[in-house]
Amino acid sequence: MNNMFMDVLIEKIKTCNNPTVAGLDPKIEFVPSFIIQDNYRKYGETLKGASEAILEFNTTIIDNIYDIVPAVKPQLAYYESFGVEGMKTFKKTVEYAHSKGLIVIADGKRNDIGSTSEAYSNAFIGETRIGIESFVPAFDADALTVNPYLGIDGIKPFIDDCEKHSKGIFVLVKTSNPSSGQLQDLVLDVGMKVYERVADLVVEWGENLIGSYGYSSVGAVVGATWPSQAAALRQRMPNAFFLVPGYGAQGGTSKDIAVNFNEDGLGAIVNASRSLMCAYKSTIWKDQFSEFDFGKACRAEAIRMRDDINSAIGG
């Protein structure tokens, strides 16, 4: 058996002493204007120009945080919104993050029927068949977020690639958005809620991929905005590693987040996107850093976030 993805992630978290992941969700308005202007001058005010600006933004952010955070989480929607050029920037961002030793969690919430999920899995965490015996990775991330609505058929191809290529997935269980309860909190006839049933399925789906720290490479997405539900899920899914979005800009505090961790100090990785990418514009940092120093502002915020979360877990 190869190394398990979740073991690799945990070791990197331990090395950095930092259970956080930097979300790379680049809206064009997050990018400092001097980068935009420079790239629009070179490439035009086009999808290409915007995508080049975002690549420069991302690589500078990575340069400033790769020794502090264990992982980055590019959100595919933002890259897709810039078309083919945006996907080129996605690919180059993955490659650049890898060159700096970062783990890459592609956030795509992908899902479909089995044969189609296999193609998604090939795209992001596996390899695509080109010839009779030739297979090529396409985007080559280390993990992918996936949606459970279609049941095990749509999840199995991802699990197979997790096993074969030492990759990971995080399955949506309880999401951070205000309307997450519209489906996820519906109460079943057996008493539990839909997301609790999904949690039980995720435990089942991950049971053959539990690594040496006791966590499966089939993880769960559990939003920081629902701390009491997260605390119950922590008990319900002891071997599931949680990817926790919603810290910072979405309103989750470090105290809200502490419930996602186990007594071993492990069990979760907390994402922040806007608060890191836009640190240079934030009330905390804007007096100290100009837009030209957005990378340093991001670093300062990454350190503040690390310490904030570590103190909440430690306490």
Site for a second copy, residues 158 to 197, rule: CB under 8 A: 172, 175-184, 186-189, 191, 194, 197
The alpha carbon dihedral of 241, 158, 4, 201 has a sign of positive
Task: Name the amino acid, one letter, at 8.
Answer: V
Rounded Cα distance, 38 and 145, in Å: 34
Which of the following is catalytic: 14, 109, 286, 296?
A: 109
Q: Is 140 helix (H, G, I), strand (E, B) or coil?
A: coil
Q: Is 40 helix (H, G, I), strand (E, B) or coil?
A: helix
Contact between 95 and a second copy by CB under 8 A: the answer reads: no
In the complex, what is the shortest distance from the CB of residue 54 to a second copy, in angstroms, rounded to a whole number?
Answer: 11
In the complex, what is the shortest distance from the CB of residue 249 to a second copy, in angstroms, rounded to a whole number?
Answer: 9
* Subset of 255-314 contacting a second copy (CB under 8 A): none
Task: Name the amino acid, one letter, at 29.
Answer: E
In the complex, what is the shortest distance from the CB of residue 274 to a second copy, in angstroms, rounded to a whole number?
Answer: 9
Identify which of residues 73 and 306 has a Cβ nearer to a second copy in the complex.
73
* Subset of 21-60 contacting a second copy (CB under 8 A): 25, 27-29, 40, 45-47, 49-50
In the complex, what is the shortest distance from the CB of residue 107 to a second copy, in angstroms, rounded to a whole number?
Answer: 8
Contact between 135 and a second copy by CB under 8 A: the answer reads: no
Rg of the chain, C-alpha, whole Å: 19
x/- map, 217-256, a second copy, by CB under 8 A? ----------------------------x----x------
Q: Are 13 and 19 in contact (CB under 8 A)?
A: yes
x/- map, 71-90, a second copy, by CB under 8 A? ----x-xx-xxxxx-xxx--
Smallest CA-to-CA distance from 240 within 271, 258, 267 is with 267
In the complex, what is the shortest distance from the CB of residue 76 to a second copy, in angstroms, rounded to a whole number?
Answer: 8
Query: Count residues contacting a second copy (CB under 8 A)?
Result: 73
**How far, rounded to the nearest angstrom, does the alpha carbon of residue 165 sit from its chain's CA centroid?**
18
Rounded Cα distance, 61 and 68, in Å: 12
Residue 48 is a catalytic residue = no
How many Cβ atoms are within 10 Å of 69's Cβ, its own excluded? 26
- Residues labelled as active-site residues: 109
